[in-house]
Structure 1
Amino acid sequence: MNPIVDILSLDHAGHGIARIDGKVTFVDGALAGERAEIAVYREHAKYNSANAIAILKASSQRAEPRCKYFGRCGGCSMQHLEASAQVAAKQRVLEDTLARIGKVKPDVMLPALHGPSWAYRTRARLSARWLDKKGGGLVGFREKRSSFIVDMTSCEVLTPDVSKLLLPLRELINALSNADHIPQIEVAVGEHVTVLVFRLLAPWTDDDAVKVRAFADQHRVQIWEQAKGPDTVRPFWPHIAPELSYSLPEFGLVMPFRPTDFTQVNVAMNRALVSRALRLLAPQPGERIADLFCGLGNFTLPLAKSGAAVLGIEGSAELVARARENALHNNLANARFALDNLFEMTPEKFAALGPFDKLLIDPPRSGAIEMVKSLPEAGAPQRIVYVSCDPATLARDAEVLVHTKGYRLEAAGVANMFPHTAHVESIALFER
């Protein structure tokens, strides 16, 4: 007999939390305040993992998932929770994590940044798999807790044009001789072109190439191919096409990029995040500002528009080259870029860069602990804006900034970069 439980709260991944004989049980598909019949699929020493198989008393915040694959697809985990409640839950995650890990509390919680909840995703990595038993291939996202691919023909969070390509892509792969040697298709949507990067473990034949070109022409996309590592990515068809780019209209900037470059998946939310970061940092002409983990210049170039002298530092040579190209493209001579491994920053290396009035830090999930430890006791930047994609590492770094380096956490808040997922993007302001 399946247990019936009351859901007490939500965890940081969007699972309901219940107790069975005192043992914590994380329930996929259940919301706080609900009563649910559950099936435990894994027992651990200190907790259980379970699925909700029937909701006996529903939360007032429960929503009808728009996607017919929700519950099977691993791409979204929170479509059953009303959109504004998702954002409120993420704000609580940020507050709780800052307090628990960083022992810090912001003076002000910033209003959450909202954007479109559907059709927002301009970047995706689609899995592809040839199934001999079924005599065909699948293209889409993986199932929850599985390496299998969902048998899907649409996606509510991909842009509509890309969603409509899922079935044609499956049909294309089924027609290719190397179908069982295409494990992945990376999608990059720009303002003027959509690029599909096919990972090829075996090359296309001449007959395959004809079919791929016809597909690209019919669906008005550009096909790239990748034989091995990222350095093997190259355009396949058509050879002449608009370049990928996104824009930041508030700052009059156009940002070209390659399909394998890191860019945010949600264009509207990226614009809102850049705008907030610039308002918080308040760059002024004559100031010297560093943009750390600068990528292709997403924050560096808007900062340079203020008239400040901006140094972007990045650990990827390819992204540094792209950032320099983008500065030239936008006629910003006051934006300079340097290649350096910020994960190995030391006080001596940071001092050698010269003094900065302000910092913008936008690290990957692993955070910027060596960077914040390297800040000097005297002459440190007066203001830091920290953009984070992981509240835990933000909180860890905030503890150093506040309790060791003499900063105050003035403000923090979330940006709903990935609606319907548990991913928490956030921004924090530290003042010396």
Structure 2
Amino acid sequence: MPMLKPGLLVTVSVHSLTEKGDGIATLEGRPLYIEGALPDEQVEIQLNLVKPNFCQGTLVRVLQPAAARREDFCPYTACGGCQLRVMSDEAQLDLKRRLLLDVLQARGLDCPVADTLGMSEPFHYRNKAQYAVQRGPNVGFYAKHSHQLVEVDECRVQAPVTTEVVQRIRAWMRSCAVPAYNEATHEGCIRHIMVRNGIHSGELMVVLVAAEAPSDEALAQLVAELESVTGLASLILNINVAVGNRVLGPENRLLWGKELIVDSLDGLEFAISPLSFYQVNPRQTEVLYREAMRLANLQGNEVVFDLYCGIGTISLFMARHAKQVIGIELVPEAIADARANAELNAIANIEFHQGAAEQLVPQLYAEGVTADVVVVDPPRKGCDAALLATLAEMQPERLVYVSCNPKTLARDLAWLCEHGFKLEQATPVDMFPHTMHVETVALLTRMQGK
């Protein structure tokens, strides 16, 4: 083989995927990463980066396609959003189960792992879209690992109404000469467009993020442009003067409609503001939480701890079937939303505490407050060691672990299994079709004699 250098065409066989969804082949003893290639494929690639320990290549053509390959459904190939879009839906679900199995086995964990719970129609599932705006005005998403804008007219995983909203705002910017914000010079006005839609309620919130407020005349024309959009219930101007990547600023100005929209999950209503954390795939959120409820196996007389509770979604699910629920969350705004959501749903057997779970749970335990069932839904880094140690001392009958990161899940499960718990089962849930993301619900029970 000729000396490896950028521009060289080579043929390789792909054997696996990276955590980001890129194909992995082996070239002269080093890993070769290829975006868009699938396992069990023979592909021709052009090298674009050659390092002593790895190489990167651009897919030129697929010589022998994998059985899982399908036609790409998205024309915006530079967008880094849907890494698995050329893989069939069935193969994606199998891949996510195998990813979970692999990390559990690597930690020496053995338990039944269910088939991945997927969507019957895995498109247009997101209830929140955040578009970047740059000079043009061009509107779209950032390319992978960059702030280079990929202009997008329609996204298959966003709600169809977002396309209409973006088109109308783009036309308004042109007609009213409202400039886009320039990240380099920090001049201009419009930075982002955020659209939130209630999947069940049909209510729509449009948030225009600006470095400075457009003129009153321009804003009046914006209202006139958008008020006829089907379902529009809230139009908000968010002011973000900060330099950096944060999308939303602290100031919201209501331009039209109401300040909050409402959506429902399994019969529970949730108020949503521009800053609220709310699961972006509500249909799969219901699937996820119902699985958590099934594993919790509540009989109505239990005290439940919901740790890292966010705006109280799991807490409210559990409260309908438990004696009492105690929710703990670090973010003050989320706790305020959780309390408001409990009041909105007239649920009284629930209380929320603001603070770090690794600090508050040991305090509650020291005061004699214990739980029969504990639900944890931590961030990607997993549970804090101090929290795990307290749970090992408390020994609840059942511990339901909801995870967005299989690796930290497996780490924490292995530790818990060494400290009085038995891992009973795990269920992967496809919250984000066409991506490598795997959500998991796992059940641990207190070992006999503990």
Structure 2 length-normalised TM: 0.88
User: Does the aligned pair in 1 maintain the 2:93–2:430 contact within 8 Å?
Assistant: yes
Deviation at 1:389, TM superposition (A): 1.0
User: Does the aligned pair in 1 maintain the 2:237–2:255 contact within 8 Å?
Assistant: no
User: Does the aligned pair in 2 maintain the 1:244–1:259 contact within 8 Å?
Assistant: no
Question: Residue type matched to 2:9 in 1?
Answer: N
Cα deviation code 1:237-265 (max 9, x no counterpart): 21447x4222123xx31122212211111
SS at match of 1:218: coil
Aligned position for 2:349? 334
Distance in structure 2 (CA, Å) of the matches to 1:364 and 1:42: 33
Q: 1:118 aligned to 2:123?
A: yes
SS at match of 2:39: coil
CA distance 1:309–1:344, change in 2 (3 Å): closer
Distance in structure 2 (CA, Å) of the matches to 1:3 and 1:350: 61
Distance in structure 1 (CA, Å) of the matches to 2:17 and 2:339: 44
CA distance 1:234–1:48, change in 2 (3 Å): same
Aligned position for 1:385? 400
The percent of aligned pairs where both chains have the same amino acid is 30
Q: 1:52 aligned to 2:52?
A: no
Distance in structure 2 (CA, Å) of the matches to 1:292 and 1:367: 12
Q: 1:109 aligned to 2:113?
A: yes
CA distance 1:320–1:53, change in 2 (3 Å): same
Q: 1:225 aligned to 2:237?
A: yes
Aligned length: 420
Question: Residue type matched to 1:388 in 2?
Answer: S
Question: Residue type matched to 1:54 in 2?
Answer: R
- Residue 366 (structure 1) aligned to one of 381, 395, 408: 381
Aligned position for 2:255? 237
Aligned position for 2:313? 298
Aligned position for 1:75? 81
Aligned position for 2:222? 212
Question: Residue type matched to 1:354 in 2?
Answer: V
Distance in structure 1 (CA, Å) of the matches to 2:217 and 2:254: 14
Map 1:160-179 to 2 at 5 A.
160-174=160-174, 175-179=176-180
User: Does the aligned pair in 2 maintain the 1:187–1:259 contact within 8 Å?
Assistant: no
Map 1:21-32 to 2 at 5 A.
21-32=28-39
Aligned position for 2:5? none
Q: Which runs of 5+ in 2 are unaligned?
A: 1-7, 182-188, 243-247
Distance in structure 2 (CA, Å) of the matches to 1:311 and 1:176: 52
Deviation at 1:150, TM superposition (A): 1.1
User: Does the aligned pair in 1 maintain the 2:423–2:443 contact within 8 Å?
Assistant: yes
Q: Which runs of 5+ in 1 are unaligned?
A: 131-135
Distance in structure 1 (CA, Å) of the matches to 2:255 and 2:423: 50
Deviation at 1:274, TM superposition (A): 0.8
User: Does the aligned pair in 2 maintain the 1:296–1:319 contact within 8 Å?
Assistant: yes
Distance in structure 2 (CA, Å) of the matches to 1:353 and 1:419: 43
Aligned position for 1:416? 430
CA distance 1:387–1:331, change in 2 (3 Å): same
SS at match of 2:156: coil
User: Does the aligned pair in 2 maintain the 1:27–1:52 contact within 8 Å?
Assistant: yes
Distance in structure 1 (CA, Å) of the matches to 2:179 and 2:374: 49
Deviation at 1:309, TM superposition (A): 0.6
User: Does the aligned pair in 1 maintain the 2:137–2:179 contact within 8 Å?
Assistant: no
Considering only aligned residues, what root-mean-square deviation do their CA atoms show, in Å? 2.0
Indicate the structure whose relative CO is greater, using CA pairs within 8 Å and at least 6 residues apart: 1
Question: Residue type matched to 1:157 in 2?
Answer: V
Aligned position for 1:246? 263
Aligned position for 2:421? 407
SS at match of 2:277: coil
Question: Residue type matched to 1:193 in 2?
Answer: E
Distance in structure 2 (CA, Å) of the matches to 1:110 and 1:192: 33
Cα deviation code 1:42-87 (max 9, x no counterpart): 3344222222121011111101122221x21111111100011011
Structure 1 length-normalised TM: 0.91
